[in-house]
Amino acid sequence: MKQDYLNELSVFVEVARQGGFRAAAQKLHMGAGSISESIKRLEDKLNVRLFERTTRKIALTHDGEALYRRSLPAVTDLESAIRDINDNQTEIAGKLRLSAPPSCGPLFLNEFMIEYKALYPNVDLELIYDAHKVDLVTSGIDATIRANSLLEPDTYAVSVGPAVKMMVLASPSYLEEKGMPKEPSNIREHDGICYAFGNADTLAQWKFTNGDGEYSVQPKPKIVVNDLKNLTLYAEAGLGLIYTYASFVEESVQKGSLVKVLESYIAPLPRYTINYLSKRHMPNRLKALIELARTKTYS
Protein backbone atom coordinates (compact mmCIF):
# COMPACT_ATOMS: atom_id res chain seq x y z
CA MET A 1 0.00 0.00 0.00
CA LYS A 2 1.28 3.42 -0.91
CA GLN A 3 2.13 5.86 1.88
CA ASP A 4 -0.66 8.32 0.93
CA TYR A 5 -3.28 5.63 1.56
CA LEU A 6 -2.39 5.74 5.25
CA ASN A 7 -2.91 9.48 5.46
CA GLU A 8 -6.25 9.31 3.66
CA LEU A 9 -7.42 6.32 5.70
CA SER A 10 -6.74 8.19 8.94
CA VAL A 11 -8.81 11.13 7.63
CA PHE A 12 -11.58 8.74 6.58
CA VAL A 13 -11.68 7.10 10.02
CA GLU A 14 -11.86 10.48 11.74
CA VAL A 15 -14.71 11.68 9.51
CA ALA A 16 -16.62 8.49 10.30
CA ARG A 17 -15.89 8.80 14.02
CA GLN A 18 -16.89 12.45 14.18
CA GLY A 19 -19.92 12.06 11.92
CA GLY A 20 -19.01 14.94 9.64
CA PHE A 21 -16.35 16.73 7.65
CA ARG A 22 -16.35 19.92 9.73
CA ALA A 23 -16.01 18.10 13.07
CA ALA A 24 -13.17 15.97 11.63
CA ALA A 25 -11.46 19.10 10.32
CA GLN A 26 -11.52 20.64 13.80
CA LYS A 27 -10.21 17.44 15.37
CA LEU A 28 -7.38 17.09 12.85
CA HIS A 29 -6.64 20.84 12.63
CA MET A 30 -7.24 20.80 8.88
CA GLY A 31 -9.45 22.82 6.57
CA ALA A 32 -12.84 21.34 5.71
CA GLY A 33 -11.89 21.56 2.03
CA SER A 34 -8.74 19.50 2.64
CA ILE A 35 -10.81 16.86 4.43
CA SER A 36 -13.25 16.66 1.54
CA GLU A 37 -10.44 16.41 -1.02
CA SER A 38 -8.75 13.61 0.96
CA ILE A 39 -11.97 11.57 1.06
CA LYS A 40 -12.52 12.15 -2.67
CA ARG A 41 -8.98 10.93 -3.47
CA LEU A 42 -9.51 7.80 -1.39
CA GLU A 43 -12.84 7.07 -3.08
CA ASP A 44 -11.25 7.56 -6.51
CA LYS A 45 -8.40 5.17 -5.67
CA LEU A 46 -10.76 2.51 -4.30
CA ASN A 47 -13.35 3.20 -7.00
CA VAL A 48 -16.16 3.12 -4.42
CA ARG A 49 -18.32 5.70 -2.68
CA LEU A 50 -17.62 5.76 1.06
CA PHE A 51 -20.14 8.38 2.24
CA GLU A 52 -23.59 9.42 1.18
CA ARG A 53 -23.66 13.20 1.38
CA THR A 54 -26.39 15.80 1.60
CA THR A 55 -26.04 19.48 2.40
CA ARG A 56 -26.89 18.77 6.05
CA LYS A 57 -25.48 15.34 6.91
CA ILE A 58 -23.35 12.41 5.77
CA ALA A 59 -23.65 8.66 6.30
CA LEU A 60 -21.38 5.73 5.58
CA THR A 61 -22.23 3.60 2.59
CA HIS A 62 -22.16 -0.19 2.87
CA ASP A 63 -18.58 -0.22 1.53
CA GLY A 64 -17.68 2.68 3.79
CA GLU A 65 -19.04 0.84 6.83
CA ALA A 66 -17.01 -2.25 5.94
CA LEU A 67 -13.81 -0.23 5.48
CA TYR A 68 -14.41 1.65 8.72
CA ARG A 69 -14.82 -1.56 10.74
CA ARG A 70 -11.62 -3.02 9.28
CA SER A 71 -9.46 0.10 9.46
CA LEU A 72 -10.54 1.51 12.83
CA PRO A 73 -8.53 -1.01 14.97
CA ALA A 74 -5.37 -0.41 12.92
CA VAL A 75 -5.68 3.37 13.11
CA THR A 76 -6.42 3.15 16.85
CA ASP A 77 -3.29 1.03 17.37
CA LEU A 78 -1.19 3.55 15.45
CA GLU A 79 -2.60 6.41 17.51
CA SER A 80 -1.85 4.49 20.69
CA ALA A 81 1.74 3.80 19.58
CA ILE A 82 2.28 7.48 18.79
CA ARG A 83 0.83 8.48 22.18
CA ASP A 84 3.22 6.06 23.89
CA ILE A 85 6.17 7.56 22.04
CA ASN A 86 5.05 11.07 22.95
CA ASP A 87 4.60 10.02 26.58
CA ASN A 88 8.14 8.66 26.61
CA GLN A 89 9.36 12.00 25.30
CA THR A 90 7.64 13.96 28.06
CA GLU A 91 8.34 11.46 30.84
CA ILE A 92 11.74 10.13 31.83
CA ALA A 93 11.03 6.47 31.23
CA GLY A 94 11.72 3.60 28.84
CA LYS A 95 14.88 1.59 28.23
CA LEU A 96 18.31 3.24 28.24
CA ARG A 97 21.01 1.08 26.64
CA LEU A 98 24.65 1.98 27.39
CA SER A 99 28.04 0.45 26.62
CA ALA A 100 31.11 1.06 28.78
CA PRO A 101 34.53 -0.51 29.31
CA PRO A 102 34.70 -2.71 32.43
CA SER A 103 37.38 -0.51 34.01
CA CYS A 104 35.17 2.54 34.46
CA GLY A 105 32.56 0.66 36.52
CA PRO A 106 34.49 0.63 39.80
CA LEU A 107 36.22 3.92 38.94
CA PHE A 108 33.02 5.98 38.94
CA LEU A 109 30.30 4.64 36.64
CA ASN A 110 28.62 2.19 39.04
CA GLU A 111 28.12 4.97 41.61
CA PHE A 112 26.97 7.36 38.87
CA MET A 113 24.38 4.93 37.51
CA ILE A 114 23.06 4.17 41.01
CA GLU A 115 22.47 7.90 41.46
CA TYR A 116 20.78 8.12 38.05
CA LYS A 117 18.44 5.21 38.84
CA ALA A 118 17.50 6.78 42.18
CA LEU A 119 16.50 9.98 40.36
CA TYR A 120 14.70 8.21 37.49
CA PRO A 121 13.28 4.90 38.72
CA ASN A 122 11.01 4.48 35.66
CA VAL A 123 14.01 4.08 33.36
CA ASP A 124 14.97 0.48 32.60
CA LEU A 125 18.76 0.47 32.45
CA GLU A 126 20.75 -1.90 30.25
CA LEU A 127 24.47 -1.36 30.90
CA ILE A 128 26.83 -3.57 28.90
CA TYR A 129 30.45 -3.56 30.10
CA ASP A 130 32.45 -4.15 26.94
CA ALA A 131 35.60 -2.43 25.64
CA HIS A 132 34.96 -3.29 21.99
CA LYS A 133 34.07 -0.63 19.47
CA VAL A 134 30.32 0.00 19.19
CA ASP A 135 28.50 1.24 16.09
CA LEU A 136 25.86 3.59 17.49
CA VAL A 137 23.99 3.58 14.17
CA THR A 138 23.31 -0.16 14.01
CA SER A 139 23.79 -1.51 17.56
CA GLY A 140 20.69 -0.12 19.25
CA ILE A 141 22.95 1.37 21.94
CA ASP A 142 21.86 4.88 23.03
CA ALA A 143 25.31 6.02 24.16
CA THR A 144 28.79 4.75 24.95
CA ILE A 145 31.06 5.71 27.82
CA ARG A 146 34.60 5.74 26.54
CA ALA A 147 38.07 7.08 27.32
CA ASN A 148 38.88 10.33 25.56
CA SER A 149 41.42 8.56 23.36
CA LEU A 150 38.73 6.19 22.05
CA LEU A 151 36.14 8.74 20.91
CA GLU A 152 34.09 7.62 17.93
CA PRO A 153 34.04 9.94 14.90
CA ASP A 154 30.82 11.86 14.16
CA THR A 155 29.57 11.66 17.73
CA TYR A 156 28.85 14.26 20.37
CA ALA A 157 30.57 13.91 23.73
CA VAL A 158 30.14 15.21 27.27
CA SER A 159 32.65 14.57 30.04
CA VAL A 160 31.74 12.29 32.92
CA GLY A 161 33.64 11.07 35.97
CA PRO A 162 36.87 12.44 37.47
CA ALA A 163 40.27 12.86 35.87
CA VAL A 164 41.94 9.48 36.24
CA LYS A 165 45.13 9.10 38.26
CA MET A 166 47.50 6.51 36.81
CA MET A 167 50.57 4.65 38.11
CA VAL A 168 53.46 2.64 36.73
CA LEU A 169 54.39 -0.20 39.08
CA ALA A 170 56.46 -3.34 39.37
CA SER A 171 57.20 -5.93 42.01
CA PRO A 172 60.30 -5.58 44.24
CA SER A 173 61.69 -8.80 42.73
CA TYR A 174 61.37 -7.48 39.16
CA LEU A 175 63.05 -4.16 40.04
CA GLU A 176 65.85 -5.96 41.85
CA GLU A 177 66.55 -8.05 38.74
CA LYS A 178 65.94 -5.43 36.01
CA GLY A 179 66.70 -2.19 37.81
CA MET A 180 64.60 0.89 38.56
CA PRO A 181 63.75 3.08 35.52
CA LYS A 182 65.02 6.63 36.12
CA GLU A 183 63.00 8.32 33.37
CA PRO A 184 60.18 7.26 31.02
CA SER A 185 62.48 6.56 28.07
CA ASN A 186 64.11 3.77 30.13
CA ILE A 187 60.96 1.64 30.07
CA ARG A 188 61.46 0.85 26.38
CA GLU A 189 64.02 -1.70 27.54
CA HIS A 190 61.70 -3.18 30.20
CA ASP A 191 59.16 -5.96 30.02
CA GLY A 192 55.63 -4.65 29.93
CA ILE A 193 52.37 -6.21 31.02
CA CYS A 194 50.05 -4.24 28.75
CA TYR A 195 46.32 -3.68 28.83
CA ALA A 196 44.33 -4.30 25.63
CA PHE A 197 41.04 -2.66 24.75
CA GLY A 198 38.95 -5.61 23.65
CA ASN A 199 41.71 -7.28 21.64
CA ALA A 200 45.50 -7.29 21.42
CA ASP A 201 45.51 -4.92 18.43
CA THR A 202 44.65 -1.88 20.57
CA LEU A 203 46.92 -1.43 23.58
CA ALA A 204 46.51 1.30 26.18
CA GLN A 205 49.17 3.96 25.76
CA TRP A 206 51.43 4.77 28.71
CA LYS A 207 51.17 8.53 29.21
CA PHE A 208 53.87 10.71 30.78
CA THR A 209 54.48 14.43 31.14
CA ASN A 210 57.41 16.85 31.35
CA GLY A 211 57.94 20.57 30.82
CA ASP A 212 57.13 20.22 27.12
CA GLY A 213 53.76 18.49 27.63
CA GLU A 214 52.42 14.95 27.46
CA TYR A 215 53.89 12.08 25.51
CA SER A 216 53.70 8.30 25.45
CA VAL A 217 56.35 5.61 25.85
CA GLN A 218 55.69 1.89 25.53
CA PRO A 219 57.64 -1.00 27.07
CA LYS A 220 58.16 -4.31 25.32
CA PRO A 221 54.72 -6.01 25.54
CA LYS A 222 55.69 -9.36 27.00
CA ILE A 223 52.17 -10.04 28.28
CA VAL A 224 48.90 -8.57 26.92
CA VAL A 225 45.67 -8.90 28.89
CA ASN A 226 42.25 -7.23 28.85
CA ASP A 227 41.51 -7.66 32.54
CA LEU A 228 42.89 -5.29 35.19
CA LYS A 229 42.92 -7.84 38.00
CA ASN A 230 45.14 -10.15 35.96
CA LEU A 231 47.32 -7.18 35.06
CA THR A 232 48.01 -6.65 38.76
CA LEU A 233 48.43 -10.37 39.42
CA TYR A 234 51.14 -10.75 36.77
CA ALA A 235 52.96 -7.66 38.02
CA GLU A 236 52.97 -9.00 41.60
CA ALA A 237 54.44 -12.23 40.20
CA GLY A 238 57.46 -10.23 38.94
CA LEU A 239 56.71 -10.53 35.21
CA GLY A 240 57.09 -6.87 34.27
CA LEU A 241 55.96 -3.25 34.62
CA ILE A 242 52.30 -2.28 34.52
CA TYR A 243 50.51 0.99 33.82
CA THR A 244 47.15 1.06 35.56
CA TYR A 245 44.61 3.04 37.56
CA ALA A 246 45.96 4.19 40.91
CA SER A 247 42.73 3.27 42.73
CA PHE A 248 43.04 -0.35 41.54
CA VAL A 249 46.43 -0.98 43.16
CA GLU A 250 46.21 0.88 46.48
CA GLU A 251 46.14 -2.35 48.48
CA SER A 252 49.10 -3.83 46.57
CA VAL A 253 51.17 -0.69 47.23
CA GLN A 254 50.25 -0.68 50.92
CA LYS A 255 51.27 -4.30 51.43
CA GLY A 256 54.48 -3.83 49.42
CA SER A 257 53.80 -6.34 46.65
CA LEU A 258 54.05 -3.51 44.10
CA VAL A 259 56.31 -0.45 44.04
CA LYS A 260 55.54 2.87 42.32
CA VAL A 261 57.83 3.75 39.40
CA LEU A 262 58.41 7.14 37.71
CA GLU A 263 55.70 8.70 39.89
CA SER A 264 56.63 12.33 39.16
CA TYR A 265 56.41 11.81 35.38
CA ILE A 266 52.95 10.28 35.10
CA ALA A 267 50.15 12.41 33.65
CA PRO A 268 46.52 11.97 34.76
CA LEU A 269 44.22 10.77 32.02
CA PRO A 270 41.37 12.98 30.77
CA ARG A 271 37.88 12.32 32.03
CA TYR A 272 35.73 9.70 30.33
CA THR A 273 32.98 10.89 27.99
CA ILE A 274 29.40 9.95 27.19
CA ASN A 275 29.24 9.66 23.39
CA TYR A 276 25.99 9.89 21.45
CA LEU A 277 24.92 10.42 17.85
CA SER A 278 22.58 13.38 17.71
CA LYS A 279 21.17 16.25 19.76
CA ARG A 280 17.92 16.19 17.76
CA HIS A 281 14.92 14.28 19.13
CA MET A 282 17.01 12.90 22.00
CA PRO A 283 15.00 10.68 24.39
CA ASN A 284 14.46 12.36 27.74
CA ARG A 285 16.08 9.41 29.52
CA LEU A 286 19.36 10.04 27.65
CA LYS A 287 19.03 13.80 28.04
CA ALA A 288 18.66 13.31 31.82
CA LEU A 289 21.83 11.18 31.91
CA ILE A 290 23.80 13.88 30.08
CA GLU A 291 22.46 16.65 32.32
CA LEU A 292 23.39 14.66 35.42
CA ALA A 293 26.93 14.22 34.08
CA ARG A 294 27.21 17.97 33.50
CA THR A 295 26.16 18.81 37.04
CA LYS A 296 28.49 16.34 38.80
CA THR A 297 31.68 17.67 40.35
CA TYR A 298 34.68 15.60 41.39
CA SER A 299 37.48 16.47 43.75
DSSP per-residue letters across 255-275: HTSSEEESGGGBPPBPPEEEE
Is residue 1's pLDDT more than 50?
no
The pLDDT tens digits of the residues spanning 229-254 come to: 899 999 999 999 999 999 899 999 99
Alpha-carbon span 147 to 96, nearest angstrom:
20
Alpha-carbon span 142 to 164, nearest angstrom:
24
Alpha-carbon span 287 to 187, nearest angstrom:
44
The pLDDT tens digits of the residues spanning 26-77 come to: 888 888 889 889 999 988 989 999 988 877 778 889 998 899 888 888 887 8
Q: For the chain, give the mean pLDDT.
A: 86
- Going by pLDDT thresholds of 50, 70 and 90, the confidence category of residue 223 is very high
Contact 265, 183 (CB under 8 A): yes
- 3-state helix, strand and coil shares in percent for the chain, rounded to the nearest 5: 45, 25, 30
Contact 39, 64 (CB under 8 A): no
Contact 155, 277 (CB under 8 A): yes
- Going by pLDDT thresholds of 50, 70 and 90, the confidence category of residue 85 is low
pTM value is 0.63
Instruction: Please report the domains of the chain, with CATH numbers, ordered by start residue.
Output: 3-90 (1.10.10.10), 94-163+271-295 (3.40.190.10), 166-265 (3.40.190.290)
The pLDDT tens digits of the residues spanning 249-289 come to: 999 999 999 999 999 999 888 889 999 987 666 888 999 99
Q: Which residue did the predictor score with more confidence, 83 or 298? A: 298
